[in-house]
Amino acid sequence: MSQSEQMTPLTEKDLSYMKDAIHWEMLACKKAYQYAHQTLEPECRQLMFQVAEQHQKNLEAIVQHMGEHVQQSVQCAVGGAQPMSTHQPQM
Amino acid sequence: MQQQQQQQTQMPTPQFKFEGGHLVMYHQEATGLPTTRDSNVNDRDRMTDMLSTEKYLNSSYDTFLNEASHEALFQVVKQNHTKCQDLQRQLYTTMFKKGWYKLAVADAQSVSDAFTKATQLKTQLPFPSNLGQMSSNQGTNVSITKAMQEAQQQMQQQQATPQQTSQTAQTGRSQAQTVSPVQSFTPAQQQAATQVQSAVHSPQQNQH
């Protein structure tokens, strides 16, 4: 990842979609895992486990990307740029 | 992890056969449809539900990709989307193999009809056909540059001769005016018409 890409901030829209996607993946993962235990037919059972595992990986990928942004905002704060939450005009 | 991915991509392509106008697996496995018919959720129900969950995820990720702004995030989401599409395909293939899906085969006549219509539609396409050169990008690039050159030439021609075209348009209009009224009108009206004609012609003459 290049320096300029690292500095691109996350928009509100991006963030809310990421939250949504995490919920989709969590539900799909739990569902597939439960179905895998209930399924009798071996091939379907194995496929269900694969599905659950893949959804967990997808979720982790999104969370990992989110984590990179958290680190980045910390670096910004150390570098002098103020995060939005602490930026308040002093009267 | 790479080995797993390879296994996923190397799913054997199913062998089909036609049965009563339906497309079914050639070696439909012994399990087939669940035999018990009660209100309990069976294997087929679970697979169907998981399949529709994947479909839902696919369309949701599609919207996400359309709306995403951050480039790195876009790539992450794109990868997740592809994975979900693969899962959906695997679920479908497995269900089809078990005989839980039966699909009607299209009539051969309607296929050939649709093909004929599509071939006729192709005459409206702007570029020369690239069939056979699909693998090489060069073919398309050549036709695009050719089209751009042609468009530029047309632009230059229009810029070079704007007066000529406007003049021909004017003369064309005045000819139409002379032809139609003279035949049907009375002499007095003809006079008026010729006066109008001369009035129309005069600015052109001034131009010359």
Q: What is the pLDDT of residues B9-47, one digit of tens each?
A: 444 555 666 666 666 655 555 445 556 677 888 888 999
Q: Which residues 62-101 of chain B have a CB within 8 Å of chain A? A: 64, 67-73, 76-77, 79-80, 83-84, 87, 90-91, 94, 98
ipTM above 0.90, yes or no: no
Residue ranges, chain A, pLDDT below 70: 1-7, 76-91
According to the model, what pLDDT value does residue B101 have? 77
Q: Across the interface, do B87 and A54 touch by the CB < 8 Å criterion?
A: yes
pLDDT digit string (tens) for B105-130? 888 999 999 999 999 998 898 888 76
- What radius of gyration do chain B's Cα atoms show? 34
pLDDT digit string (tens) for B47-64? 999 999 999 999 999 999
Q: B66-103 as b/e, with b when 16 or more CB fall inside 10 Å?
A: eebebebbeebbeebbebbbbbbebbbbbbbbbbbbee
- A17 shares contact with chain B (CB less than 8 Å): yes
For residues A36 and A52, the answer to whether their CB atoms sit within 8 Å is: yes
Question: Closest Cα of chain B to A77: distance in Å?
Answer: 20
State the distance between the two ends of chain B, measured CA to CA, in whole angstroms: 83
Q: Across the interface, do A28 and B57 touch by the CB < 8 Å criterion?
A: yes
> CA B67 to CA B3: how far, in whole Å?
33
Q: Across the interface, do B83 and A57 touch by the CB < 8 Å criterion?
A: yes
Report phi then psi at B110, rounded to 5: -70, -30
Q: Across the interface, do A8 and B70 touch by the CB < 8 Å criterion?
A: yes
> CA A18 to CA A59: how far, in whole Å?
10
pLDDT digit string (tens) for B151-202? 888 888 888 865 554 454 444 444 444 444 444 445 555 555 555 555 545 4
> CA B104 to CA A37: how far, in whole Å?
33
For residues B122 and B129, the answer to whether their CB atoms sit within 8 Å is: yes
Q: Across the interface, do B69 and A13 touch by the CB < 8 Å criterion?
A: yes
